[in-house]
Structure 1
C-alpha cells in the first residue's frame, strides 16, 4: 500500500510540473500556479511517505 501512495505522489509531482511548464509556455499564469501547487502537494505527500518509512524500520 505504501508503494501505491508513493506512486501517487510521484504522479502528482509529474502532473504538476507538466501543468506548470504548459502554463508558462502559453502564458497562462493561473495554470502555472496550479501546476506549482500540484507539484508542491506531491512533494509534501512524498516527504510524508519517506518519514513514515524512516519510523517503520
Structure 2
C-alpha cells in the first residue's frame, strides 16, 4: 500500500462519514469512520517503512 492509497482511503471514508451524518445512516457513518482510520493507519505505516528503509 502506498501513502497515496492510504490518503485516498481516508477521503473515501470521510465522504461516507459525511453522507451517513447527512442521511442519518449510522451504519454508513461508522463504515466511513473505520475506513478513514484504516487509511490513516496505512499512511502512517508507509511513513514508518520509508523512514526505516534509509
TM tier relative to shorter chain? over 0.9
Q: CA RMSD in A?
A: 1.0
Where do 5+ consecutive residues of structure 1 fail to align?
none
Q: Which runs of 4+ in 1 moved over 4 A?
A: none
Structure 2: gaps of 5 or more residues: none
Q: Which has the higher contact order (CA 8 A, sep 6+)?
A: 2
Distance 1:44 1:37 in 2: 11
Length-normalised TM-score, structure 2? 0.93
